[in-house]
Structure 1
């Protein structure tokens, strides 16, 4: 241990009752004051000898005050976040009705059949772009074709799928 740490630790043990009172006045709780005194000891262990501390008692009390104020600020931030949070009922999305679920299921089936009806290369481009979320340049490199050809395949696939959906009355 370096000399600052040793002297501050000895001073902490000697001044502990006064430090507890100071911290309790700031945070308002004996339990929190005890916890923060332990935190204070941990902070002291990381103090270096350079530069030497001239007034170790003032340093210790300032450190205790800072630890207590840090706890209050953290508590205030926590409360601000959780008090401002919307109620769970406002966050949860409502479930779709059984009718909406059935219609969506039918539309998905139509779309899957439309994708199956695409030529193989066009289907591959569509899946790489819309499912795998690859960029056109990445698809071009992956399949060894020009970006304009990838764009044409993609346009054809989208047109084909939209036409199939319109044929079945999907708006």
Structure 2
């Protein structure tokens, strides 16, 4: 091994933990911090062998510059990627064909279970749970008491839960 390689190796062994922790605070990413520290030492190894041994302060500045460059590049890539297309075109909000089939199947099961309910129970359930009427409004429309509507809905929920 050359003297230059030994100097860089010793420096790596002594400083790599501290450098990774420093870069991790900047980038907030452990894997990227390791990459930056390794890149800094690869760059040091690429220097001419006759160059003097790098100091820990020099390596710290080199690592800092690489980390800031990576942070800047990451932000620039994110801005370019987001500004290229309108946000509503990035993700398709429509359900996949598989999910549409599952939802249709579930809806069919629910409608079948609703159809099997006794008429007054079904009417109370539809008025309150589907149309959004209050118990009092449903009671007035069905011409029954509020408690009767509540009883119909409780019984409908229990029966639907059992069937589904």
Q: Where on the TM-score scale, by shorter chain, does this alignment land: which range?
A: 0.3 to 0.5
Normalised to the residue count of structure 1, the TM-score between the two structures is: 0.45
* TM-score, with length taken from structure 2: 0.47
